[in-house]
Amino acid sequence: MGLAELIRIKQITPAEVVEDTIRKIEAVNPKLNAVICKTYARARQQASQAIMSDRPLAGVPFLVKDNAVIAGIALTRGSRALRAAVPNQTGPFFAAAEQAGLIVLGVTNMPEMGLIDGTESALYGPTRNPWNLDYSPGGSSGGSATCVAAGILPLAHGTDGGGSIRLPASHCGLFGLKASRGRLLPGGFGASPWPRLVDGCISRSVRDTAMYLSLVEDPSTRLPKLGFVSAKSRRRLKIALTYEGTRGEAPHPEVRKAIAATARLCRELGHTVDEANVPLDQARVDTAARQLARISHTIFARSGGVARRFVRTCWLVASGGRERSWDFPGLRGAAKTWSRWAWDDAAVVTRCGGACHAGEPRALAAALRRTAAQPQTSAAGQLDAIAILMRRTLTRTSAPILSSLRRIVPQLALANGV
């Protein structure tokens, strides 16, 4: 908000801010590997047309995570299978962000499909923490967190399903908040493959995040409207504090010190903070998880042979097609299943020798045959698409299937770290 105010009172211009941000990216990105796609020409054009009077964040530079749906800007989600993907529409969340005056200068790194809490992929390599280049910035919004922590810009886009904004904010000394589901505009179109995922940002201040979230709030949300939260609430909270993990693990002394300082601040703000043990029997939770895994394994194994067809197709691709008994009926069944689970059906089979739609079984079978006829193509180079499918499938299955796949298709596990 401070930068937006300087632009509003004409101490600096949007064009000057964009050029300064580009200079910073070019200076530090070779060491950090945080920005993996640059949209400088687009940003310069927007800066030259910026309206400085009626947009709250007019001219403020912005970087988006590699899962942002913006027309004309690469959207790979950190996967080699999607390296050619470019949306032709802009999601409502990003349309609102740009309408507020934010200028996108590029795309930040993330792990493949955002599935780990670090930021590295086979496609772009690791992003490094600006506080210590030997450390990770966390993930999966680690590229954005690195840029904010390095002082490239005051705020950057991130997404959070299981901590992907909050974790890198913690790793990099920033502010990260996951908004309630349904409060903000959707980042894309149609049903989300992971309903827990929420678009948001990583910033250096509560104030900046509060303004940003108010500008992308969904006007049709069923939750109470918040708008710009400019002051603390009168509501006081009762907070339970525990220092140990669910299995009795003690935190590092520095971590314990930080937790204690946070608790002390909460008390000073008028909240009640009491130490308490988590009422959770971890052994019983582990037993329940194993039981659920067995149930889901049984359900999946009885689902019309999908699991067997899936493993067989993985093996055909991983083995370079040395297996000659192609099971076209099996591929047809697998293709129908995949088309329901895949994030991007066209990209799913790109690494299998052709950009055909997974819902077209004959085309898929032909693509796999072409791949088998290319002995110069390494197994590892063909695995990204299959890995996407396997990971998406495993959210509905269990550890026993993962173990089976590792035994049957060792190359797949090795190449993708699944």
Active site residues: 65, 140, 164
Tell me the three state secondary structure of residue 103: strand
In single-letter form, the type of residue at position 227 comes to: G
Quote the tokens at residue 214. 């108010």
Angstrom distance (rounded) from CA 418 to CA 414: 8
- DSSP H helices, 153-237, are 166-172, 206-215
107 contacts 82 by C-beta, under 8 angstroms: no
Quote the tokens at residue 16. 């000057």
Angstrom distance (rounded) from CA 375 to CA 342: 27
339 contacts 314 by C-beta, under 8 angstroms: no
Angstrom distance (rounded) from CA 111 to CA 126: 8
> Position of tokens 């945080």?
34
Angstrom distance (rounded) from CA 243 to CA 259: 8
Q: What are phi and psi of 352, to 5 degrees?
A: -100, 20
Residue 389 burial by CB count (10 A; 0-12/13-18/19+): exposed, middle or buried?
A: buried
